[in-house]
């Protein structure tokens, strides 16, 4: 049995069925990650009208920041503490960690993405979108995805740690 990976996707949609379709289409088209199986779990998904929406979204964004910080910590363990160190990075493990960090900061999804904002192609949430969601909560969803059987992931060479469901 393979390891499951969990993602929450923020999408703009009138209902869960359309939200699920957006997530499914995105995951089928992206070249950054490919899973053998993807399940959009309706019972673990929620609209912005539901009380747990904001807590879940904020936890997901915080987890993304934690993962970026953890990767930066890996670079520090390799002896890097300054941007000036970039010129001396060894190709391989160190450069791949840096590349993963920049992917997360640039908004490219990966196995390390706990929460992904499909609206803005981002791991974060701009204030303008936050205000829009607050004004029109019925139109926004967090779609919980359980993915299994990682088939392809750009730059991912270390074992994937399963993220426990909250």
Residue 160 inside a domain? The answer is no
* Number of domains making up the chain: 1
Helix-then-strand count for the chain, H and E = 4, 4
User: Considering the domain boundaries, does residue 93 fall inside one?
Assistant: yes
Q: Which domain holds residue 13?
A: 4-153
Does residue 29 have a pLDDT over 50? Answer: yes
| DSSP secondary structure letter of residue 122 | B
Query: Taking the CA of residue 133 as centre, how many other CA atoms within 13 Å lie in the half-sphere pointing to its CB?
Result: 23
Q: What is the pLDDT of residue 152?
A: 56
Q: Of all helices (H) and strands (E), which one includes residue 103?
A: helix 93-106
Residue 158 in domain: no
> Does 53 reside within a domain?
yes
Q: Reply yes or no on whether the pLDDT at 160 is more than 50.
A: no
Q: Which of 80-89, 96-105, 124-133, 138-147 has the lowest mean pLDDT?
A: 80-89
- Asked whether residue 47 is assigned to any structural domain, the reply reads yes
Share of the chain above pLDDT 70, in %: 89
pLDDT (0 to 100) of residue 1: 47
* Length of the chain (residues): 166
Taking residues 68-81, what's their average pLDDT?
93
Are the beta carbons of 70 and 61 closer than 8 angstroms? no
């Amino acid at each position: 049995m393979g390891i499951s990976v969990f993602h929450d996707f923020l999408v703009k949609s009138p209902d869960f069925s359309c939200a699920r379709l957006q997530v499914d289409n995105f995951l089928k088209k992206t070249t950054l990650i490919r899973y053998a199986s993807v399940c959009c779990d309706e019972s673990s998904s929620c609209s912005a009208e539901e009380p747990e929406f904001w807590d879940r979204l904020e936890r997901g964004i915080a987890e993304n920041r934690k993962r970026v910080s953890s990767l930066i910590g890996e670079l520090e363990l390799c002896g890097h503490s300054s941007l000036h160190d970039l010129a001396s990075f060894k190709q391989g493990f160190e450069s791949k960690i840096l590349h993963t960090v920049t992917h997360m900061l640039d908004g490219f999804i990966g196995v390390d993405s706990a929460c992904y904002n499909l609206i803005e192609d981002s791991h974060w949430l701009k204030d303008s979108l936050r205000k829009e969601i607050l004004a029109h909560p019925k139109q926004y969803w967090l779609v919980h995805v359980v993915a299994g059987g990682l088939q392809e992931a750009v730059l991912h060479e270390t074992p994937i740690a399963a993220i426990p469901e909250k």
